Amino acid sequence: MKRKLIIIGMIIAISAFSIYGCQEKEDGGKDKFGYWDDITSTGEDDNKTSTVEKFDIEVTYSDKEKLSLTKNDLVNYSNVIELKNETISITESGEYVLSGEIKDGQIIVDVPNSDDKVVTLILNDVNVKCSDSAAIYVKNAKKVVLSLVEGTTNIFTDGNNYSYEDEAKEEPSACIFSKDDLVIAGNGSLLVNGNFNNGIYSKDDITITGGKIDVKAANNGIKGKDSIAILSADMSIDAGGDGMSSSNGEDESKGFISIEAGNFKIVSGEDGIQAETCLEIKGGSFDITTGEGATITSWNNEDKWGKPDFGDGFNRNDFSSESGTNSSVDAVSIKGIKAGANITITDGVYTINSEDDAIHTNGDIEINNGTFNIKSGDDGLHADDILNINGGEITVNQCYEGIEATYITVNDGNIHVISNDDGFNAAGGNDSSSMQGRPGGNMFSGSTGTLTFNGGYVYVNTSGDGLDANGTINITGGYIIVDGPASGGNGALDFDSSCKMTGGFLIAVGYSQMAQMPTDADVNCVMIGFDEYISDGKLINIADDDNNSIITFKGTKSYNNMVICTSAFTKGKDYTVSIGGSIDGDVVDGVCSGKYTGGTLFETFTIDGESTTLGNATGGMGGFGPGGQMPGGQMPGGQMPGGDMQKPGGGRH
């Protein structure tokens, strides 16, 4: 009885990847995104277009036509298959339905260059072990498709040592090794045990359209030298090196990774996902752990990854912070998601626990949506050049620097950052982590930077500077809360040139020594200098002369300076500041809802201009702006989203 097996997939035409926008930027530091647009290739300029090509593979076979990976059953295929011990060599293109076991041998594909057709290996419960080389070795073919039959489990295992066919190139170097394009399709399961080096490695492109894939590898889990393109997959990777890597840095149109969807669990000794050029993720669920996770940090002197470890003979970096140079071996990168050029994330769910930066690029990052839960031993999000956040839920629970780049723009999103040093950092600031020697470490594109907030909700709880720019801060909208810093050597706001606020809401608490407030604003701002340190969770309440609360705030640390900028302040109107008391509502990111009662009156003041100071608001080094001077009477403004100055969804009494 004839049966029909239909495998449907999609091959992304890698050669038509649009690298153009990955390289070029507008004047003034603005970025041209959109290099992943699905434009059908005209063939005139493949470097600036991309295309997606569908293909169907229809295979008809009977039980007798199935290859059971034994000599007797393979004899009828002697015209296209060479048998040697338990090694099978396929020398012509076509579709081959494989099942059964090879106890110590391999499957070799070696099709002459004149044969430009695809070799399809339809894997129907295959178990191949090879003690001294790759279990699948593609020497030559236009393209090889590994099609996973639904309901089957296909296992490939190599040994702990190899007998290289090419000693000079040390090849093959993976349990599944291909010198040409490799496609994995179907809905079955693929288990790869790369005991010697890599799990799956193609020296050209890897395309994955489906399947349940489990890879364990001594070195890299999945490596496509020229590219990796994933339409969808249910994937688990446990790798001593990179979890997933594309390494071609010689051709700017290659070395990229594109992921459309799927579920990915990656545990890696080095980078979780690493693209030499560009990386795009349109969706999916990602659980990534690199190195020893965020337990190894850039600021803990006992477990500091920037210093050599002479205790157990294993040094993650082998880097001397004293000399500033590498010592005996090359340093390794242990980042969560990393690219040499640009990273674009459209959607998805990301849980990242990384020993180094969680998301890092030497170019630009654009985040349009997605949910991020991050713990990092160094930075949360780092881009050397531009970092744009257009939406999403971003929570950085642990980091050194939270979000940093030369130019940072927040247009929308819900962002929470808890940082050991700066929360937001434009162009470096006091970032000493850039000097610790990790590969790809914090090479900002300029010495001055810009930090811009056009919308969204931002909460920063920091031990260092809250919002730090080696240039300017611009606030046109959004709701911003800065709780910190933890010492007088840092400022809740820290800018070198100016801080202009034309909209939005800002509250920032910290120490008076480095206190700054906006230098130019279209709404009213108040700086309050307290004559005592506000600690132990004491409330600060600001109310109008009708006893309507403008805001009630409860910080998590000690502070004696508060800056608040809001359109709720009206020129010529009186207000009170009270300390202590109680609230009968909720506290969200320090902002309290409900009715405020009790408390001790600290001071009454009148809004007499865009900037008002009261109490001991004299500032220290840096004062109220560059050089410690009062900002000339201009202060920030705007409205809290929804017009409620109490808190999002909160109320007044």
Q: What is the pLDDT of residues 199-215, one digit of tens each?
A: 999 999 999 999 999 99
Q: Which pLDDT score is estimated for 632?
A: 31
Q: Which pLDDT score is estimated for 299?
A: 62
**pLDDT at 44 > cutoff 60:** no
Assess contact for 413 and 306: CB atoms under 8 A: no
Residue 20 per-residue DSSP state? H
Q: Which pLDDT score is estimated for 524?
A: 94
**pLDDT at 161 > cutoff 80:** yes
Query: Which of 16-25, 219-228, 422-431 has the highest mean predicted lDDT (pLDDT)?
Result: 219-228
Average pLDDT over residues 594-617: 90
**Of 241-245, 382-386, 430-434, 627-631, minimum mean pLDDT range:** 627-631
Would you place residue 157 in the very low, low, confident or very high pLDDT band (cuts 50, 70, 90)? very high
**pLDDT at 26 > cutoff 60:** no
Interatomic CA distance for residues 542 and 645, integer angstroms: 11
**pLDDT at 556 > cutoff 90:** yes
Assess contact for 575 and 544: CB atoms under 8 A: yes
Average pLDDT over residues 257-268: 97
Average pLDDT over residues 533-553: 94
Report in angstroms the alpha-carbon separations of 583 from 54, 547, 559, 595, 626. Answer: 61, 14, 20, 6, 37
Would you place residue 635 in the very low, low, confident or very high pLDDT band (cuts 50, 70, 90)? very low
**pLDDT at 599 > cutoff 50:** yes
Token pair for 40: 């059908």
**pLDDT at 536 > cutoff 90:** no
Tokens 């890897």 label which residue?
206
Max distance between CA atoms of the chain, in angstroms, equals: 98
Q: Which pLDDT score is estimated for 113?
A: 74
For domain 505-643, give the CATH superfamily: Immunoglobulins (2.60.40.10)
Q: Which pLDDT score is estimated for 418?
A: 96
The rounded percent of the chain whose pLDDT value lies above 90 is 61
290 vs 303, residue with greater confidence: 290
Q: Which pLDDT score is estimated for 252?
A: 81
Q: Which of 289, 192, 262, 182 minimizes the C-alpha distance to 225? A: 182
Q: Which pLDDT score is estimated for 409?
A: 98
Backbone angles phi, psi at 294, to 5 degrees: -75, 5
**pLDDT at 319 > cutoff 50:** no
**Of 43-57, 339-353, 449-463, 502-516, minimum mean pLDDT range:** 43-57
**pLDDT at 318 > cutoff 60:** no
Assess contact for 436 and 321: CB atoms under 8 A: yes
Average pLDDT over residues 218-235: 96
Q: Which pLDDT score is estimated for 447?
A: 66
Query: Which of 36-40, 51-55, 65-69, 255-259 has the highest mean predicted lDDT (pLDDT)?
Result: 255-259
Q: Which pLDDT score is estimated for 407?
A: 97
Beta strands in 62-188 (DSSP E): 81-84, 87-90, 94-102, 107-110, 119-130, 136-140, 143-148, 153-158, 174-178, 181-186
Tokens 């593609």 label which residue?
138
**pLDDT at 504 > cutoff 80:** yes
Would you place residue 446 in the very low, low, confident or very high pLDDT band (cuts 50, 70, 90)? low
Assess contact for 435 and 462: CB atoms under 8 A: no
Interatomic CA distance for residues 487 and 417, integer angstroms: 18
Peptide bond into 172 cis (omega under 30): yes
619 vs 470, residue with greater confidence: 470
Average pLDDT over residues 73-96: 65
Would you place residue 97 in the very low, low, confident or very high pLDDT band (cuts 50, 70, 90)? confident
pLDDT in tens, 356-377: 999 999 999 999 999 999 999 9
Number of CB atoms found within 10 A of residue 434's CB: 18
Q: Which pLDDT score is estimated for 64?
A: 36
Interatomic CA distance for residues 629 and 137, integer angstroms: 70
Q: Which pLDDT score is estimated for 250?
A: 81
Query: Which of 128-142, 420-434, 633-647 has the highest mean predicted lDDT (pLDDT)?
Result: 128-142
Assess contact for 256 and 262: CB atoms under 8 A: no
**pLDDT at 478 > cutoff 50:** yes
**pLDDT at 165 > cutoff 70:** yes
**pLDDT at 519 > cutoff 60:** yes
**Residue 469 CA from chain centroid, whole number:** 22
Tokens 């700086």 label which residue?
527
351 vs 14, residue with greater confidence: 351
Alpha-carbon torsion (589, 594, 600, 603), positive or negative? positive
Would you place residue 340 in the very low, low, confident or very high pLDDT band (cuts 50, 70, 90)? very high
Residue by residue, what is the 3-state secondary structure of 492-534? CEEECCEEEECCCEEEEEECHHHCCCCCEEECCEEEEEEEEEE
Interatomic CA distance for residues 163 and 170, integer angstroms: 9
Report in angstroms the alpha-carbon separations of 501 from 159, 173, 498, 506, 524. Answer: 63, 57, 10, 9, 10
Mean pLDDT score of the chain, rounded to an integer?
A: 79
Average pLDDT over residues 328-340: 80
Would you place residue 43 in the very low, low, confident or very high pLDDT band (cuts 50, 70, 90)? very low
pTM: 0.82
